[in-house]
Structure 1
């Protein structure tokens, strides 16, 4: 049996932004909310989760990535604010959003969806929402307690950072958490 690689396409987050997000995450950890907190080392911005991919299909995925990024100039973003999926009342995923050229990320995600569908990757049926996951619920989250923690945290915004490529990652699930390995990069084609 041929082994499939668990993969996704994402934007890498600069170390200084991860550190700022991690500090904010620390305040929420202290609140005692029952989330499984994401390790800051692995923080990224997912554009498309692919799931199990055969090694022989990786080249096709990378080709679509390069075709999509060729039409984009570098983007300036900042991590800003907090939110939850599907919403604060039924929080399953807690995140920080992205501001700046988030619309550009949406167009890039849409290009990837359309380009990968002919290769057999199912298109998402929900609208793309640029975010960095901070934690995933481990049971029911009290919406009032979550909103109080967000209010206590106050406004949040990191320094600006530039995105000039996307990365295909392999994800290995281990007892200590997921380990991500970069398989390929697709640089943006327009420089400014």
Structure 2
């Protein structure tokens, strides 16, 4: 009998620095009627979900790729609703993506056989909350666009399993590997 395919994706865990920024924002904006993403689930998606029957091979490829990359500095400048301003589903932090993310994604696509690659340019975002459908109109009227100054050094990359539930997706880390080369800003 064949292996069951799992819904997986590759992401970079937000790390302690970003989680602290998000938690502080949450405290100041607890009046928002949203479903906050649990701190341990905060991540930057590098390769969106696909079905994999062999996550062990993906983890091996992830480890090999991570050997060639430094820890990455990231900076978020805006918190807004998205992805569609007229029908927003998410509250996310966005910023300018460095070449690091596109190069990393290309390297992973070269190492991991997928039926199709995401051809869009890499869009740097960190989803911090999901909107309830019944709140969508109120969110649109708020026209959320909040300047933030969130920066962090991202040190690991993970393969996550995405388990879809009625209450929303739950993520389980299948493997996490460090970037092997230290960032020049790190001690």
Q: TM-score under structure 1 normalisation?
A: 0.75
Residue 145 of structure 1 aligns with which residue? 141
Does the CA contact (< 8 Å) of 1:166 and 1:187 recur in 2?
yes
2:116 to 122, 143, 152: 122
* 8 A contact 1:96–1:134 mirrored in 2: yes
**Structure that is richer in helix per residue:** 1
Distance (whole Å) between structure 1 residues aligned to residue 170 and residue 59 of structure 2: 20
CA 144–164 in structure 1, closer or farther in 2 if over 3 Å, else same: closer
**Structure 1 portions without partners, runs of 5+:** none
**C-alpha deviation, 1:4, in angstroms:** 2.2
- How do 1:106-185 residues align onto structure 2 when only pairs under 5 Å count? 106-116=102-112, 119-139=113-133, 140-141=136-137, 144-147=140-143, 149-150=144-145, 154-158=146-150, 160-185=151-176
Name 2:36's counterpart in structure 1. Answer: 37
Aligned in 2, Cα 1:29/1:125: closer, same or farther, shift over 3 Å?
Answer: farther
- CA pair 90-28 structure 1, distance change in 2 beyond 3 A: farther
- Please give the secondary structure, in 2, of the residue aligned with 1:161: strand
Check conservation: 1:79, 1:96, Cα contact below 8 A.
yes
Question: C-alpha separation between the residues in 2 aligned to 1:142 and 1:16?
Answer: 31
- Structure 2 residue ranges without an equivalent (≥5): none
Q: Go from structure 1 to structure 2 and tell me whether the alpha carbon gap of 1:83 and 1:106 turns closer, same or farther (over 3 Å shift).
A: farther
